[in-house]
Structure 1
Amino acid sequence: MGLDIKYCQSRGKIILLSIGGATAQLNSDAATFSQQVWDLFMEGSSPYRPFDDAIIDGVDLDFEQSSQMDIIQFANNMNQFYKSGKHKYYITAAPQCPYPDANLGNLLSQAHIDMAFIQFYNSGWCDNSKYGLPHWPESMNYYMWDAAWHNNSFANPNIKLYVGAMAGTGAGNPGSYVGPDFFANELKELQGNYSDSFGGAMMWDMSWAR
């Protein structure tokens, strides 16, 4: 894995460690856990580094339930570690599309997050499968995220917002899936309408892509 990580980075790819998930709970305190992540995966020191001397480029926070760990403090701690490092690091988050996200909304407003990979799937009314219906823009609420961006509702005023989609019908609720042509047209229109906040696309996950 370490060699693979370094190869991908040599090709300009950013490698992030995703923390959380649909049912994840973390009981660690933020100070201990942030130190462990820094030591195991970044420029810290540990005899147990799973990727040997490979250094990843940051962490992605995907908490779809409330976490017992203070994720805001964790993110702030990681940003402090980043300042002492020699590499460029990132913190990203993967909120669900209802704005504000129930579990990551406070994180986005109180900690510096570089990118938000918004899950416009498995969330019902704001899935991107609703995009383009007669009641647009209410059907897909990217406009609400863009409004928050322009209203300086995020701790990082330059955060970039990514539109997340399912890479295949098996990646989640099949009703949330949109095909590649539909998604490409959606992204093109969103980029044109919201060029300040728009960052690009996220797909979950590429193992489902065909």
Structure 2
Amino acid sequence: MSDLPTTDETGRIGNRTRTAVLGTGALAGVLAFLVGYLVTWVTAGTRAASVTVTGPFGSGVPDWRAVLWVFFDGHFVGTRTPQVFGPDGALWGGGELVDTVSLLDVTYVYAIPPLVLAVAGAAVALHLRSETPRAGVQAGLTVGIGYLVTVVLALFVATQGGIAPSPLRALVVAGIVYPVAFGGLGGFVAVLVTTRTSGERSSPAA
């Protein structure tokens, strides 16, 4: 009898491989979001806490939630202020989007999401041993799965008293555009650098 795998066995192996790839990317995406949030807390936590004291959001907001708003705004999402209505139901004010990053003068936070996503994309590409830049991009794109899921979950806990990141912008920009762009870029660069380094090492000395 032949020891070669049957068509069904080959299909099952392929499915397991794809599942492993997607699972690796999803985990990297979740970790990228969490690391980005923690870096934001460490570098801008003190100023983020002041947004509930001197900012337009009122008091009683826990520091961890204020930091979450700032991290979302690091993706250019925008945090919506609470709406104030009069006795007749007319809108008196509020409801506009505020960029807490600019408000608190912590513009370096804009660099955090691209960096953590690029690193995550590169890590996935290297872990999967992607051999071509195209394969590196494809590996990096899988980071978006976990990142998007974490964005959705974070939106639920980021809401308080009518204050929350813009849901649509959070889902589209933070959840899709950023991980696709920077996760894929990280995977591309990682494979490109690795390929060139390997080529230089294997080239005979002049």
TM-score, normalized by length of structure 2?
0.32
Give the alignment's TM-score, normalised by structure 1.
0.31
Task: Select the structure with the greater relative contact order (CA < 8 A; seq sep ≥ 6).
Answer: 2
Q: Name the structure with the higher helix share.
A: 2
Find the structure with the greater CA-based Rg: 2
